[in-house]
Structure 1
Amino acid sequence: MAITLRLSKPKLTDSIMAIFVFVLILDPSNYYLGLKSPLFFLAIVACLSTYNSIPSKVVVPVCVIYGGMLFTSMMGFLSGHTPESDTLAFFYKSFLMIFLILWSNHLRILEKVLFPALLVSGLVIFIYISMLTSPILEKAIYAYLSSAGESVPILMGRRTFIGIEIISVYHKVCVLFLLPMSIYCYKWLNEKRHKWKNFLLTFFVLLPVIAGGNRANILSGIAIIGILLLQKLWQTRLGKVISVFSVVIGTAGSLILVSMLMSDTDEPSLSAKISLFNSWYEHIIRHPSILLWGQGIGTTFATEVRGEATISEWTYLELIRWFGVPIALAVVTVYLYPMYRMFKGQGKLPYRKPLTIAYIFYLLVGATNPVLLNSTGMLSLLIMYSYALNPTYRLHDKSQPIVLPEAKCYNISSSSF
């Protein structure tokens, strides 16, 4: 008797990518599961065996990132800047994920973020309620999370903003949730079907962003929803009037709030950022050649708050220190390119506007938070490149997404003994 198994390579690859995204979000530091590297290499093998072509347009980002890293590391070494081996290995390993962009025209990543985001939301709700209601449970959770040291995926505590104490349950990947949140908010405001479902998804995906207590994340989430609401109001005559007043009041309120946050002397992270910026500026003045070819990833510079630091909280300034201005601009272009692609090409991407708005805020948050130069940053790039380049996302003449022909199934036959 023959047993025939029909295995679809694209579906298998899609499943591997779903598990990989799940692990990247739930265990970003690779401390609990330790599956990031095996799943990454499994994803690479799956893509190589499933897809035969690689568009030339996605080869350039990989060459820019890794070519820039190799060139500036060599120039930094020749200039006397020796990198720390552990830091160098960390960033070379983190940037490996960019190789998955080579198959971004086949992959669908955005929708795979929702399930782990909802799990994180549930976990954040549980910890938040525990901190409000049970000091014993709070201490137990804190002790468990603290055992992971710097690898802990969730940070919990109490912070003071402009004199107000708030509870903070911060998941390290929560800023990534701005991307799906923006789309579900757009669907809730503009689509007639599944209103309540889209509202609830917007709320629960946004919740970890707000509960994290990070000022940039909170302001970004509020701003994205505000922009989408104004976009909806702008469709009517009365709405245009309301929108104008809302923009004026919102802008004034935002400026006042930002001014209060910037002058908050009780917030240590703000003073640390200012000190790191001053140290970076002094380092560049002492070594102006860095502006041309950088000093390489993993190298250090002297700071007042961290001693010899390998990275500051000013991401784009670090790109200049690592790569020099020319290559840093090329790297930033790699991050910006998918937004350009989303507004080009045949067929319309239905959620390009909300996704673009959210991604812009993600890049703004990344300016002072380490969410661009690690696996989370690479995942955001993969989301954007796949949405921009995968033709199954685009709507065509009949307003239906086109479906690529499925790869041929292969048979595995065996005879019974």
Structure 2
Amino acid sequence: MTLVDETEVLAVYKAISPVLLLLWIRNYDLISLSKGPVVICCILMTMLFFLILYCPQLEAPIYYWQATAGFPIIINHRTFLGVSMFVMYLKSYVAFVFIIAYYFYVVFSGIHRNILTFIYLFFICFAFSVSGTRSTMLLPIFIFIIVGYVTGANKKYAKYILYPIIFIIGIAFIVLLIALISDTGEASNAVKYGHIPSYIQLFEEHPEYILIGQGPGAYMYSEGFNKVVFKTEWTYLELLRNYGLFSLIIIGVFAKPLITMWKYRRDAFCKCMFFAYLSYLLIAGTNPLLLSSTGMIVLLMAYSYEESITSLDVNKQQK
């Protein structure tokens, strides 16, 4: 008999309920509507970060105050590559991926660029740089490399100035990424790698789970936590464990906008949005961010943008 966490089952259904908004998504440009709230969030988080940094005595009361709200803000001290640092971030940071790509695109392309664009981008990048998770800390660097490369393709100085800079930053990014991933002294790495043998053993003992799944909220033993758990951070393995072959349909729902964006990749902005969304799906692979409220926000934004580019193409054809 499989043990099931009923609270987790209800939480999953509650988290994915916004997917119903896809029925009305064609009426809204969510990327444009999200720019203001994202900038405001990053400015407020930057201000709060420096407030705690210069008044450390405020850290404890702020921590316990937001703990009563279910930890929407994570405040912690972490060590990366032997360097200890104070970190703070919103759980929904990764949902800002389209907005990061948008502002980098504006800066590189020069379209609607002004001093406020640089200010907004500074606050966004700073908020991500002190977020304390490898994925969100490195995300702006990845987007910078991609957008810089895509927008610089038709510029005269790209070959001699922009591309060498992007190449150097890209090499540094890869070296840093490999160092962070292989940092066995970092607690979360040890836990994540510890989950994998447990999945292998589970599927060997119960191959039927690959077909029909174990069900959402079902428990399994994990060597990473050294206890029985109902969820790990390996999202796509969790989908397979919980839903079996039905997980392919779930992945297909998330992948559909990605396929459409790739179809229209000749447009530079669309190509940037493609890599922004792809980066989110990759990050979601090692974080529980797919079937969650954050995942639904990103999914709605992706479908909103897909609708905008397809409807624009239809209008062009009609003319």
Q: Is the structural similarity TM-score above 0.5?
A: yes
Quote the offset at 1:361 in angstroms.
0.7
- Please name the residue that 1:279 is paired with: 198
Quote the offset at 1:105 in angstroms.
1.9
1:251–1:185 distance in 2 versus 1, CA, 3 Å: closer
Q: Secondary structure at the match of 2:26?
A: coil
- Please name the residue that 1:81 is paired with: 2
Quote the offset at 1:397 in angstroms.
7.7
Mapped partners of 1:301, 1:92: distance in 2: 20
Q: Secondary structure at the match of 2:303?
A: helix
- Please name the residue that 2:288 is paired with: 370
1:219–1:382 distance in 2 versus 1, CA, 3 Å: same
1:264 corresponds, among 180, 183, 186, to 183
Quote the offset at 1:236 in angstroms.
3.4
- Please name the residue that 1:37 is paired with: none
Give the ranges of 4+ consecutive aligned residues of structure 1 lying more than 6 Å apart after TM superposition. 395-398
- Cα-Cα RMSD: 2.6
Quote the offset at 1:255 in angstroms.
3.5
Quote the offset at 1:392 in angstroms.
9.5
Quote the offset at 1:82 in angstroms.
4.4
- The AA in structure 2 aligned to 1:105 is R
The answer as to 2:29 corresponding to 1:108 is yes
- The AA in structure 1 aligned to 2:217 is G
2:232 corresponds, among 296, 305, 312, to 312
- Please name the residue that 2:211 is paired with: 292
Give the fraction of aligned pairs with identical amino acids, expressed as a percent.
29
Contact preservation (8 Å) 1:349, 1:393? no
Quote the offset at 1:308 in angstroms.
1.7
Q: How does 1:3-402 map to 2 (within 5 A)?
A: 80-148=1-69, 151-242=70-161, 245-246=164-165, 249-304=168-223, 305=225, 307-324=227-244, 326-342=245-261, 351-390=269-308, 394=312
Q: Secondary structure at the match of 1:313?
A: coil
Q: Secondary structure at the match of 2:154?
A: coil
The structure having more radius of gyration, on CA atoms, is 1
Quote the offset at 1:343 in angstroms.
5.4
- Offset from partner CA, 1:229-280 (integer Å, 9 cap, x none): 2223332355235566456544543342233213323311110101122222
State the number of aligned residues. Answer: 315
Q: Secondary structure at the match of 1:158?
A: strand
- Offset from partner CA, 1:291-341 (integer Å, 9 cap, x none): 1121111111111315221110000111111111x3222211111101223
1:393–1:242 distance in 2 versus 1, CA, 3 Å: farther
1:243–1:205 distance in 2 versus 1, CA, 3 Å: closer
Contact preservation (8 Å) 2:212, 2:243? yes
1:125–1:354 distance in 2 versus 1, CA, 3 Å: same
Question: Would you tell me which structure has more helix in proportion to its own residues?
Answer: 2
Mapped partners of 1:396, 1:197: distance in 2: 34
Q: Which runs of 5+ in 2 are unaligned?
A: none
Contact preservation (8 Å) 2:233, 2:288? yes
- Offset from partner CA, 1:43-78 (integer Å, 9 cap, x none): xxxxxxxxxxxxxxxxxxxxxxxxxxxxxxxxxxxx
Contact preservation (8 Å) 1:158, 1:165? yes
Contact preservation (8 Å) 1:127, 1:138? no
1:390–1:245 distance in 2 versus 1, CA, 3 Å: closer
Q: Secondary structure at the match of 1:104?
A: helix
1:143–1:186 distance in 2 versus 1, CA, 3 Å: same
Mapped partners of 2:202, 2:46: distance in 1: 43
When structure 1 is superposed on structure 2, of 239-248 and 101-110 the one drifting more is 239-248
Mapped partners of 1:397, 1:327: distance in 2: 36
Mapped partners of 2:15, 2:293: distance in 1: 5
1:181–1:173 distance in 2 versus 1, CA, 3 Å: same
1:122–1:310 distance in 2 versus 1, CA, 3 Å: same
